Amino acid sequence: MKDRVQMFERKDHGGFTERYGSWALIAGASEGIGAAFAQALAGRGMNLVLVARREVLLDRLAEDLHARYGAESRCIAGDLGDPGFLEKLGSSMNKIEPGMLVYNAAYSPIGDFAGMAAPDLMRVVDVNVRGPLTLLNMVLPFMSRRRKGGIVLMSSLAGNQGTPRIAAYAASKSFNRVLAEGLWYELKEQGIDIIACFAGAVRTPGYVDAAHKDAPGTLDPGILVEKTLAALGHGPLVVPGVVNQMAYWIMGRLLPRTTAIRIMAGSTKDLVASSKADH
């Protein structure tokens, strides 16, 4: 019976593995959006390299992916904010050359910028900026040689304008959006698709801890992932969810920038100061 379930659930959506290969690397895979990407890609026939700090959660996810889809997983526990770990990650994959990269890891200290410690601010740079740059530099030679590949960088509606109380995080997410846009043009002639997912509120454990209630347009992780994968190959940016698309357009195109910043300040004023997303 288990084999039949695996055969039923594991489908290659539109030749997904032919288009991108048999292995995907997911950074920030332990729960929430990263785990949802792992489920979706395993369901499309891919094997996974799962990277995050919490080894127990990675192992549990790998067992579930194997039971449901027959997917092979390599779990690599480590801190994506540690430059030393990033440098060693390639050799830890045992010569696997991923055809898909999902960079979901993020660090978001909450509170007034002036009251933050310098190490917290530098960790934003290490996890949210250095991390994707390093992993892109690692996987793009494989993809360029094969002339195929797929890349998802998680950005945020917070990066559409300055966002008080998460100012450093928002700035780093703007970086990822602009990075994806530039690479989209550079890489498209090589058969490599890249997209930045401009996410709104998503029901992840970190969001629930920080916000305690849903914001307008809040999505389940699985819905966000499916919409993002469907958009891969169709441009450098996706904004999942109708409410979020409206917010992106209104805040970024119609309102004065100062007004958009004030609106974002209202949405972040009640975030819990001690909460940080860091997968």
What residues are labeled active site? 169, 173
Greatest alpha-carbon pair distance for the chain in Å reads 59
Q: CA 23, CA 50: separation in Å to the nearest integer? A: 11
Question: Which tokens sit at 54?
Answer: 């919490």
The rounded Cα 107 to chain-centroid distance in angstroms is 12
**Cβ atoms 278, 226 nearer than 8 A:** no
Q: CA 176, CA 125: separation in Å to the nearest integer? A: 11
